[in-house]
């Protein structure tokens, strides 16, 4: 896994109903872009040093924008089923 400052780290949270965590990658000290990464977590605004695991991936800002657009279009088309008594 390789990154550069300005990329995003996305960590999927397996086995929970929570959304993936996102962090802006602020610093990469390795010349080849390898971990660890200094990040700022979007949900807490806290900084930390991260050695990403297998549940993490790095995306560029353009890739994140595309992912967000796809998720928004899925949500826009979602209509929850309504149930009336006696029907599944």
CATH of the domain at 64: 2.30.30
Instruction: Report which of 9, 62, 76, 4 is spatially closest to residue 33, judged by C-alpha positions.
Output: 4
pLDDT (0 to 100) of residue 12: 87
Question: Does residue 83 lie in a domain region?
Answer: no
| CA distance readout (Å), 79 to 14, 76, 82 | 25, 8, 9
pLDDT (0 to 100) of residue 37: 97
Residue pair 2/35 in contact (Cβ under 8 Å)? The answer is no
pLDDT (average), residues 3-15: 89
Question: Does residue 86 lie in a domain region?
Answer: no
Question: Does residue 88 lie in a domain region?
Answer: no
pLDDT (0 to 100) of residue 85: 52
Question: Does residue 27 lie in a domain region?
Answer: yes
Q: What is the pLDDT of residues 25-78, one digit of tens each?
A: 999 999 999 999 999 999 999 999 999 999 999 999 999 999 888 878 776 655
pLDDT (average), residues 9-15: 83
pLDDT (0 to 100) of residue 11: 93
Confidence category of residue 18, pLDDT binned at 50, 70, 90: low
- What's the domain range around 52? 8-76
Strand partners, 49: 38
**Dihedral sign (CA 13, 70, 44, 2):** positive
Domain count, the chain: 1
């Amino acid at each position: 896994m390789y990154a550069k400052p300005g990329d995003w780290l996305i960590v999927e949270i397996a086995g929970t109903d929570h959304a993936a965590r996102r962090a802006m990658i602020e610093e990469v000290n390795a010349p080849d872009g390898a971990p660890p990464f200094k990040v700022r977590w979007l949900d807490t605004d806290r900084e930390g040093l991260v050695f990403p695991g297998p549940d993490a991936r790095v995306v560029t800002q353009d890739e994140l924008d595309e992912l967000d657009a796809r998720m928004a279009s899925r949500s826009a088309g979602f209509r929850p089923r309504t149930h009336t008594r006696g029907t599944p």
